[in-house]
Amino acid sequence: MNMDSIKVQSKAHGIMYHHFHDNQKHIVGQGSISAETFNDMLDFYGKDHNIIGAGEFLQKSEAGTLSPADVCLTFDDGLLCQYDVAYPVMKDRGLTAFWFIYTSPLDGVIEKIELYRHFRFSKFSDIEDFYSAFFNIVAANDPEAMAAIHSFDPDQYLKEFPFYTPNDKRFRYMRDRVLGVSKYNMTMDKMLETYQYDIEKNSQILWLNADHIKNLRKQGHIIGLHSYSHPTVMSDKSYLEQSREYTTNKRQLENVLNEKITAVSYPCNSYNSDTLKCMRELGIRIGFRANMVDVQLEDIRYEYPRQDHANIMKAMEAAK
């Protein structure tokens, strides 16, 4: 990675985090990091950037006083591993973050996107072993779908996410653009059954509950929207479908916190002008994309860029 690309950017931005591990309750998986690595990463990125709390970032955004070096921390999906591993590090450093939470798990829904990810890393020695098994099942059950991948060029897909491997891209293309939700879930559910994955047991360690969310807010963190059910291609949905996703998400979080929710990040970076219309109607004050690409549909308030922590990891390794 070009080290210059990770130094001070031309715009204020967030750092995007998802998964953490502790080698006990929370397993190691592709892209997951430990508390020690998280702490080292903050030191590394802080050399060239001004890492500030979520409240200060929001305040400076609305005042128009953010500098290019200003950076905030953001956590997507409302995962328990974030609370158990990353939150204590931030508490020790006096830092707060934006936590973007999808809320179907608060209704007791075992949301499959996170369940499937946990399955991949608990039942396979590495991600390539999983991809091999996954594509073998697709080939056996849906030859037409498998044929669609033969002409697929990974270099032309998700180019704004340089940390994805070719097989990462093939998998996401198959999931989102070829199989679709129903066929993909059917394929994955067959794998869960084949590998005797315990859904009920493992679902207990995946998501934050209402008490976690309340405590984060009490400590000064900002809770934000991330949809109700985390669709991977939100931009394919109609305005009404998007509105239902975010309105339900907002209502649930406001019921937990008894205050207005005013921040958002977009699942899988999938959003369009309809999404931004929803944000205006819901009174959202700040929103985040999932990459550093200069894409601005209408209003920077709703499209702040974010640096994926995986890019910072590569820069840290290159600097050794």
What does the pLDDT look like over 214-273, one tens digit per residue? 999 999 999 999 999 999 999 999 999 999 999 999 999 999 999 999 999 999 999 999
**Which residues are bridge partners to 230 per DSSP?**
none
3-class SS at 20? strand
Contacting residues for 308 by C-beta, under 8 A, at least 6 apart:
15, 16, 161, 163, 290, 291
3-class SS at 258? coil
- Going by their DSSP bridges, the two strands 263-265 and 98-101 should be labelled as unpaired
pTM of the model: 0.92
**Which residues are bridge partners to 298 per DSSP?**
none
**The two three-digit tokens of residue 190, written as one number:** 């067959």
Q: For the chain, give every domain's residue range.
A: 3-109+207-319, 112-203
> What are the φ and ψ backbone dihedral angles of 137, each rounded to 5 degrees?
-70, -40
Q: How far apart are CA 195 and CA 132, in angstroms?
A: 14
Q: What is the mean pLDDT of residues 119-137?
A: 96
CATH of domain 3-109+207-319: 3.20.20.370
Place of tokens 């430990």: 34
Residue 114: what pLDDT? 96
Q: How far apart are CA 13 and CA 234, in angstroms?
A: 22
